[in-house]
Amino acid sequence: MNTTNKLDAKAYWKATIRLTISLLVVWFLASYGAGILFRDALDSFSIGGAPLGFWFAQNGAIYIFLILIVVYCRKMTQLEKQFGVKG
């Protein structure tokens, strides 16, 4: 039922999954990693007057989330062009 070439669709999906997993790794590290699991270690550094781990949990993770979605949108547009998907 696909209007696109079958092979392209498969390769496109594979590339999408690879991109999704790598972005989710960063997502996990920025929030659960820096903000929760490794917070104590990061707290020995500071950003301005805030302990770094605490800052990640309250502010930094949000900026990273935003960057992740922007990167995802850009890369997906590229992938769609590359594999001839209409988008």
Partner 1 sequence: MDQSFWTYFFVIGTFATYIGIAIWTRAGSTREFYVAGHDVNPVVNGMATAADWMSAASFLSMAGLIAFLGYGGSVYLMGWTGGYVLLALLLAPFLREFGKFTVPDFVGDRYYSSLARVIAVVCALFVSFTYIAGQMKGVGVAFSGFLGVDFNVGILIGMAIVFVYAVLGGMKGITYTQVAQYIVLIFAYTVPAIFMSIAITGSPVPQFGFIGNAAGTDVAMLEKLNTVVTNLGFTQYTQTTKSTLDVFCITAALMFGTAGLPHVIIRFFTVSSAQNARKSAGWALLFIACLYTVAPAVGAFARLNFIDTVNEATYIGDNENYEQRSADIIARGGKPVPVWYKDWEKTGLLKYDDKNGDGMMQYRGPNAPDGVANEVVPNRDIFVLANPQIAQLPAWVVGLVVAGGLAAALSTAAGLLMVISSAISHDLCKRTFMPGLSERQEMVIARVAAAGAVICAGLLGIYATQLPFVAQVVAFAFGLAAASLFPIIFLGIFWKLMNREGAISAMLVGLISTFSYIYYFKFGGGSSEQWFLGVSPEGIGFVFMWLSSAVGIVVSLATAPPPQEIQDLVEDIRIPGTRSAHGMAEGGMAPGE
Site residues for partner 1 per CB under 8 A: 1-4, 9, 12-13, 16, 20, 23-24, 27, 31-32, 35-37, 43, 47-51, 54-55, 57-59, 61-63, 65-66, 68-70, 72-73, 76-77, 80, 85-87
Alpha-carbon span 54 to 65, nearest angstrom: 16
Alpha-carbon span 76 to 15, nearest angstrom: 9
Nearer to partner 1, 47 or 82 (CB): 47
Report in angstroms how near the CB of residue 63 gets to partner 1 at its nearest: 7
Report in angstroms how near the CB of residue 76 gets to partner 1 at its nearest: 6
Report in angstroms how near the CB of residue 82 gets to partner 1 at its nearest: 13
Please name the residues in contact with 42: beta carbons below 8 A apart, sequence gap of 6 or more: 34, 51, 52, 53, 56
